[in-house]
Chains A and B, each alone.
Chain A
Amino acid sequence: MTNGGTGPAVSAEGLGRRYGKGEAAIDALAEVTIAFPRGQFAAVMGPSGSGKSTLLHCLAGLDRPTSGTITIDGTPLSGLSDRDLTVLRRTAIGFIFQSFNLLPMISARENVALPLRIAGEGDIDERVEAVLADVGLADRATHRPAELSGGQQQRVAIARALVGEPTVIFADEPTGNLDSASGQEILDLLRRAVDERGRTVVMVTHDPRAASVADRVVLLSDGRVVMDRLGMDADQVYDAVRTLDPA
């Protein structure tokens, strides 16, 4: 199922997400139509409250949009039961969180193996070792998260996202809690996931330097896409963001 189709990895059409009711209702997303082709590294940016996190949550099937449709790997999300949605997340999606979200009581290796074990797959050892080696943590496999640095923990999280060979990886501020050197390592790994493994990465970030690593930058404001460009460098991103958020 993963990487099988030829259409976009993720697409959304007329996506709206409204919180609350009546007068007090807020449209976190309004009429967003966007598609992420396979093998693309996209950065989603925007000021606080612009709806970038809501977009990520909706695309990943964690939050249900109030209007519009989302399609992941050719499967429309609307109408999927909680169970089917969960299985789709398990098989087609990988997650990277700002705060790593590793299980503290198990080793790096076990954390990486978790998605495969949840899926009940057998013969996982080689795949887990390979991914761990790929993120440069083969020698830290038996360490618990508390025994690893922040950058190392996030690398474990990337390995965990990669191990199931998902169509798309959603990263929510993956460098937000890291120093710049560690952050760069993380961005390099994501870049390699796209270039070498053909994954699609959708990354929410507020860091223009992080965004500049991506192939494409999508800028959101007040729940709408206000800019969508390919191939920007850090300065261009910085300027684009500043025009939106003249703080």
Chain B
Amino acid sequence: MLAGLRQRKLRAALTAIAILLGVAMVTGTLVLTSQITRAFDEIFQAANSGVDVRVSPRVDFESGGLRNVPTLPESMVAEVQGVDGVKKAVPELAALGSPVVNGEYVQSTGAPSFVFSLTPDPFRATQLSSGQYPTKDGEVAVNEGLASSQGLSVGSKLGVATRTGVKEVTLTGTVTFANVSSIGGTTIVIATKDDVQRWFGLEGRINSIAVQAEPGVSPAALARRISAELPSGVEVRTGQQDAADQAKQTTEAINTFLRPALLAFGVIALFVGAFIIFNTFTITVAQRLRELGLLRTIGASRRQVMASVVGEAFVIGLVAGVVGLFAGYGFAALLVWVFDILLPGGIPVASAQLSLGVALTALLVGVVVSVVAALIPAVRASRVPPVAALREGAEIPRGRFSRFAPVVSGLIGVGGIAIIVLALQSQGAATQRLLVMALGSLLVFIAMGGLLRYLVPSLARIIGWPLERTPGASGSLARQNATRNPARTAATAAALMIGIGLVAFVAVFAQGLKASVTGAIDTTLRGDLIISGKSFQAIPEASVAAVKTVPGVSDVVAVLTDPARTETGTRTTVFGLDPEAAARGLAFEWVNGSSDDLRTLGPGEAVIEKAFADAVGASVGEQVRLRTGGGGTGSYRVAGIFRDRILFEDGVIVSQAGFRRAFTARDPIFVLAAVDPGKDPVAVKEAVATALTPFPVAEVRTNAEYRDEISSRVDSILYLLYVLLAMSVVISLFGIVNTLVLSITERTREIGMLRAIGLTRSQLRRMVRYESVITSGIGGVIGIILGVVLAWVFSLGLEEEGIVFRVPWLQLVVFLIVAILAGMLAAVLPARRASKLDPLDALHYE
């Protein structure tokens, strides 16, 4: 049977590619995510080199990263230094602050910009690559990547954007971050402790204490000793533990979000590939009836015939697994490249490694998908009767259950729809419901793949209509060829349907998301200007005062935010703002109460979002008790309930005074402002921008500009999804090529006859191209319809979340054109093969 494999080299190669790409996506994901987690491991290991014990504030739950890091009193350093066994204890500070070079803010939209306080040996995570570490205030060292990309050298002047404005400093040296392969686009500025405290308003405060043990004292023992001396609310961990804990957080984020998300696309690609394997084997079994019949005549058992088909699938899967493994490294590199474009600065990535686990996964995935997809054709092959060897036009007897196939497909589809409907009506968490709905959608796709054959004739007639109107018979021949074996055309189109369907789905979904967010901005924000931080950073508190001084600006609402949890663990976000300005600047839909309740909000009161109110069962007049990430608590009487599923989703709004009672954030996450009537908004915006010059992290936008910004952020995620789904579309193209090549081989005689009676080569090529376009058009049209319908259903499920349903018609038209162009592309090779056929073949087959 392996000889058979060699004979059909081209088909085998095309079939292998169908799974190879899916295998590459799966292995590429595993390779890439391990590259990222190892990079973070290296970073945290390096950051903790030389640290035996680290003392830091206790954090119950993450509270917004470095935006609002809890602090310790600086006096604690002396206490720690006094503990027996401590050789050296030094304060550490870390803040977010971008370098400013030649008045230009060095923006890294993806990676963070760190400002670290200088620590002495042996605590340094960095190594000098030129110059020296700062020795006095006003001096800094920066990472070498930043220096070289910005043309900085020792002695250069640069600025650092801080909470208190841009600080002029002198560069004394450049550093590398230990031996870490890459820190992505992260920038590092190292300054004296006093500078960092002044710049970020942390006088007398520090973030953590690094401790070196006396020789002979174990870090673990020292950590216990220090812990005993310090008050509760302080975390004392060994340097190793600390590094492991930090690395664990990122690893968890990658393993619970990035990896499964990317794997999902690999699974989709494999799913598409499986359709193609199934279809290819179905066609070849049908074409090899005589050969299989001959095997039976000379004594092969049904089992042996079946094994021969499965064996072929096994070899193809194995080849796809091996090649896919290596292609996976290419895919990982491709993803790094895409991330670099979408998130300037990129992500930290360690060098790629070959691991046995990944290699075995690749082989296993390739073989299992290939063999499973070939099972049904293999069973069918085993049913070929021996007499098929002798008879022209023998057919495989239908299986006992084959007449139930449409019923089964229908049931699967109904089941999928039922699952989606049940998920829609269930009260579970949104993410869980979405997962169940995704499962339902998968079933709907499978069912559609099975039922598509019954739609092929009419769809081909519709899509072929313009083609049949072209001169010559190519159009109608193409349509008739596409419909003569509806199951084959359906399976080929179904592969494309999945890819295009998902593309349409995410496009519609993203359109709804954009419409929801921009709609919320329009309805909720009465003001004209929105000031927000670059790279999701908070805006320095001092910038609020600067904005208020601009003439023509009123109703300035600075929004502070901190995550919080109720006693029972329900998550929420607390917003602190000026009630009077907010009552004018924000238009809420009130469920209970009115904007008057917001205007007169006292320090002990809160207005809460309806979903949060429902989650905790709170109503007006009751108390809501909240815990902060640092362990503090605050209690507020509910004064009103509003509905806002987008901007203040699940939120609790309190006054600034009330916020300060328990929460520690000082820098607003965004600031809203209105332009006085009669003033030119553009001119006022420019004036605000000028007033914000000392705070380059803050950006002012009109509402319209902010809407565009949100849209472009959604779009950049959308483009990433397109890239990932494009793989599935490419795979389905190979499926079309494969089907066409097989069909052409099958129709050699017909093609010869057509050439003999006057079909020119170009007409013949057009016939093949049109058949391809009809197939891809069916996949495209059904895919788009399915994608839009599913997106509509999902939007119903997310109505509560404020997601609306919007159809991006233009994009859908573009997708259809892409599908059609893809069909033309897929036809290039088969059309060329067909046109090379000798018309004599029509007569030679006697």
CB pair B471–A90 under 8 Å, yes or no, is: no
Give bound CA distance, A214 to B759, whole Å: 30
Determine the chain A residues whose CB is within 8 A of the CB of B480 once the complex forms: 103, 105-106
- Say yes or no: A62-B839 contact (C-beta < 8 A), given A101-B750, A117-B473: yes
Contact yes or no, B759 A86, CB < 8 A: yes
Question: Is the Cβ of B757 less than 8 Å from the Cβ of A103?
Answer: no
A159-182 near B? 1/0 per residue, CB < 8 Å = 011001000000011001000000
Q: A63 and B840: CB pair below 8 A?
A: yes
A86 and B840 in contact, given A98-B846, A103-B480, A105-B481 (Cβ under 8 angstroms): no
Q: Is the CB of A99 within 8 A of B845?
A: yes
A97 touches B842 (CB 8 A): yes
Q: Given A62-B840, A172-B843 in contact, is the A118-B759 Cβ separation under 8 Å? A: yes
The 15 listed contacts between A and B (C-beta, < 8 Å) are: A60-B756, A62-B839, A82-B761, A89-B756, A90-B758, A91-B758, A94-B757, A95-B753, A97-B753, A98-B846, A105-B481, A105-B484, A118-B758, A172-B843, A173-B846
Chain A min CB distance to B592 (Å)? 69
Distance of B710 from chain A, by nearest CB (Å)? 53
A87 within 8 Å of B (CB atoms): yes
CB contact under 8 A between A62 and B762, given known A57-B840, A103-B750, A173-B846: no
**Does B763 make an interface contact (CB < 8 A)?**
yes
Tell whether A62 pairs with B763 under 8 Å between CB atoms, given A89-B758, A103-B750: no
Task: Report the nearest B residue to A161, measured CB to CB.
Answer: B757
Nearest chain A CB to B772 CB, angstrom units? 17
A119 to B840, CA, bound (A): 21
B: interface residue count bin: 20 to 34
From the candidates A53, A101, A117, name the one contacting B753 in the complex (CB within 8 A): A101
**Residue of B481, B754, B758, B839 touching A87 (CB-CB under 8 A):** B758
Residues of A within 8 A of B (CB): 53, 57, 60, 62-63, 82-83, 86-87, 89-91, 94-95, 97-99, 101, 103-106, 114-115, 117-120, 160-161, 164, 172-173, 176
Q: CB-defined interface of B448-479 with A at 8 Å, one 1/0 digit per residue?
A: 00000000000000000000000111001100
Top-8 shortest CB links A-B: A90-B758, A117-B473, A120-B471, A101-B753, A105-B484, A86-B760, A118-B473, A105-B480
A residues near B762, Cβ cutoff 8 Å = 83
Interface centre among B481, B839, B840 (most CB of A within 10 A): B839
Write the chain A residue with the least CB distance to B747: A103
Inter-chain CA distance A150–B839, complex, in Å, is 23
Provided the pairs A99-B846, A105-B480 are in contact, do residues A114 and B473 lie with their beta carbons within 8 angstroms?
Answer: yes
B residues with CB within 8 A of A? 471-473, 476-477, 480-481, 483-484, 749-750, 752-763, 839-840, 842-843, 845-846
| Pairwise interchain contact A117-B757, C-beta atoms closer than 8 A | no
A62 to chain B, nearest CB (A): 5
Q: Which residues of A contact B761 (CB under 8 A)?
A: 82-83, 86
Instruction: Decide: A118 and B846 in contact? CB cutoff 8 A.
Output: no
Interface of B is mostly: helix
Cβ A160 vs Cβ B756 within 8 A: no
> By CB atoms of chain B within 10 A, which of A62, A83, A172, A176 has the most?
A62
Q: Are A62 and B760 in contact (CB under 8 A)?
A: no
- Are the CB atoms of B758 and A62 closer together than 8 Å? no
CB within 8 Å for A62 and B843 given contacts A83-B762, A106-B480, A120-B472: yes
Find the B residue at minimum CB distance from A97.
Answer: B843
For A94, what are the chain B residues with a Cβ–Cβ distance below 8 Å?
757
Taking A103-B477, A105-B483, A172-B843 as known contacts, 5 extra A-B pairs with beta carbons closer than 8 A to each other, sorted by chain A number, are A87-B760, A95-B757, A105-B480, A119-B758, A120-B471
Given contacts A97-B843, A118-B763, contact A86 B758 (CB under 8 A): yes
Interface hub of B476, B749, B763, B843 (most chain A Cβ within 10 A): B843
Residues of A within 8 A of B843 (CB): 53, 57, 62, 97-98, 172
Contacts of A91 in B (CB 8 A): 758
Bound together, the chains give a CA A97 to CA B472 distance in angstroms of: 23
CA A176 to CA B846, docked complex, whole Å: 10
Question: Contact between A118 and B757 (Cβ–Cβ < 8 Å)?
Answer: yes
Supposing A57-B840, A114-B473 touch, asked if A95 and B483 sit within 8 A by C-beta, the answer is no
Nearest B residue to A60 by beta-carbon distance? B756
How far is B762's CA from A172's CA once the two chains are assembled, in angstroms? 26
What CA separation (Å) do A176 and B845 show in the bound complex? 13
Least Cβ–Cβ distance between B748 and chain A, in angstroms? 11
Nearest CB of chain A from residue B464's CB, rounded to whole Å: 13
B840 shortest CB reach to chain A, Å = 5
* Chain A hits for B476, CB < 8 A: 117
Task: Return the chain A residue nearest B753 by Cβ.
Answer: A101
A176–B777 alpha-carbon span in the complex (Å): 43
A115-B757 in contact given A101-B749, A105-B483 (Cβ < 8 Å):
yes
